[in-house]
Structure 1
Amino acid sequence: MSSFHRTDWLAVASPIVTVLIVASGYVVSYMQEKGKNHAALQDIGKLTRTVEDIKTESAVLIEQLKATHELRFAAVDRRLQAHQEAFSRWRKLIANFHKEEIGSVAVECQAWWNDNALYLEPEVRNAFNRAYFAALDHRALLESGRGAGKDYKPIEGNMHLVLTLGDVIMRAVALPSLTEQETKTAGEK
């Protein structure tokens, strides 16, 4: 082959090879971009599903909290009334603590507790129950504690169960104080 033909052949082949190289670069770049787009679509799909799952879980949780909140506030008046009645019965226990009537007062407290315990805060519910039983047992503890050298701690502990019930009830229903602005607004009405 002569140098002339090689030059013609190179002159024809060189632009074709150049076009093929450039075209293959574009094809490779296009395919890489296509692969990235496909991966991004898959990632977006996963992210979308994750976001939707979180939204669904959040909506369910919000509904549960809302239902609990509504239930809690639906009985606010009744709960406050139950705590007031518990306080009144506690005062009656204290007034009859060393009297013959303590048995009937304790039975009255137990009957009331059976009908109203679910409206009481858990701490009040337990303290009220312990207090009327302690009041009922107090006379027997006093009689067993008479005499020289007797241990008075059970009597004191029993008395403490009854006496502290009032504080437990008051803490359970303690309302926040009014701010100065709220006091002023209430006075204007």
Structure 2
Amino acid sequence: MSSFHRADWLALASPLVTLAIVVSGYYVAYWQERGKSRAAAENIDKLTRAVEDIKTENAARLAEISHQNAILIEQLKSKHQLRVAAIDRRLQAHQEAFKLWRKLYAKAHSDEVSAIIRECQAWWEDNCLYLDEKSRNAFANAYWAAGHHKMLLQSPVRDEAAIASITRNWAMIEGAGDAIVSGAALPGLTEAEKKELREAVEANKQGG
């Protein structure tokens, strides 16, 4: 090949080589960018699935919490309804207990007290659960103490211990009234009411 032909071939090939290099560089860059785009798309898909999974899990948790809350609300409503339904009966029971206590307190020194004690005991067995704990115990202690009071008073022993025993026993009878009133969430007995009751007791003492 003559030098002229070699020069012509080189002149012709040089642009082609340059073009091939440029094109190959373009394709390399294109496929690199496409690979990056595909990777980004895969990452977006993964993130989307992760977000959806979290949303699904949160929705399930919220549904469970809502279900549990609904159950709790129903339980509280039922409990509240029972309490409301029992309010009238509880007030009635405290009123009945107070009425029996007044009778017991007034007749504690008379011969009638035994019958009243039996009446109190029968009533307590049928109604004690409607009284609050303090009233329930105070009422039972009062009629129990009333059953022993005359015996304590009739004891020939009048030493300091005997007097203290009588005082404690009488306090159990006398204190039940305030406990029953407080149990009904009402104000305690006024001094005037207590005085009236004491006068009734003294009158029964003299009458007995």
Task: Specify the SS of the correspondent of 1:99.
Answer: coil
Gaps of 5+ in 1: 177-189
2:27 to 1, 16, 19: 16
TM-score, normalised with respect to structure 1: 0.82
- How much does 1:145 deviate? 7.6
- Aligned pair count reads 176
Residues 1:111 and 2:122 aligned together: yes
Q: For each residue in 1:55-92, what CA deviation from the matched residue of structure 2 results, as whole angstroms up to 9, or x when unmatched? A: 11111111111111111111322221111110000101
- How much does 1:144 deviate? 4.7
- How much does 1:4 deviate? 5.4
Give the equivalent residue in structure 2 for 1:87. Answer: 98
Closer, same or farther: CA 160–149 of 1 in aligned 2, 3 Å: closer
- How much does 1:161 deviate? 1.8
1:84 aligned partner, one-letter code: Q
- How much does 1:143 deviate? 4.0
Give the equivalent residue in structure 2 for 1:32. Answer: 43
TM-score, normalised with respect to structure 2: 0.75
Larger Rg: 2
Q: RMSD value over aligned CA atoms?
A: 2.3
Residues 1:138 and 2:149 aligned together: yes
Give the equivalent residue in structure 1 for 2:196. Answer: none
- How much does 1:175 deviate? 5.3
Distance in 1 (alpha carbons) for counterparts of 2:99 and 2:146: 15
1:13 aligned partner, one-letter code: S
Give the equivalent residue in structure 2 for 1:172. Answer: 183
2:136 aligned partner, one-letter code: R
2:137 aligned partner, one-letter code: N
Task: Specify the SS of the correspondent of 1:150.
Answer: helix
Task: Specify the SS of the correspondent of 1:174.
Answer: coil
Distance in 2 (alpha carbons) for counterparts of 1:107 and 1:116: 14
Task: Specify the SS of the correspondent of 1:43.
Answer: helix
- How much does 1:157 deviate? 2.3
Distance in 1 (alpha carbons) for counterparts of 2:149 and 2:156: 10
2:144 aligned partner, one-letter code: F
Distance in 1 (alpha carbons) for counterparts of 2:56 and 2:108: 72
Query: Quick check: 63-72 or 138-147, which moved more?
Result: 138-147
Q: For each residue in 1:6-46, what CA deviation from the matched residue of structure 2 results, as whole angstroms up to 9, or x when unmatched? A: 53332111111111121122112111111111111111111
Distance in 1 (alpha carbons) for counterparts of 2:27 and 2:42: 22
- How much does 1:50 deviate? 1.1
| Runs of 4+ deviating beyond 6 Å | none
Same amino acid, percent of matched pairs: 38
Residues 1:125 and 2:141 aligned together: no
Closer, same or farther: CA 175–87 of 1 in aligned 2, 3 Å: closer
Task: Specify the SS of the correspondent of 1:28.
Answer: helix
Q: Is the 8 A contact 1:145 1:152 kept in 2?
A: no
Distance in 1 (alpha carbons) for counterparts of 2:158 and 2:185: 43
Distance in 1 (alpha carbons) for counterparts of 2:156 and 2:69: 60
- How much does 1:150 deviate? 3.0
Q: Is the 8 A contact 1:82 1:119 kept in 2?
A: yes
- How much does 1:100 deviate? 2.0
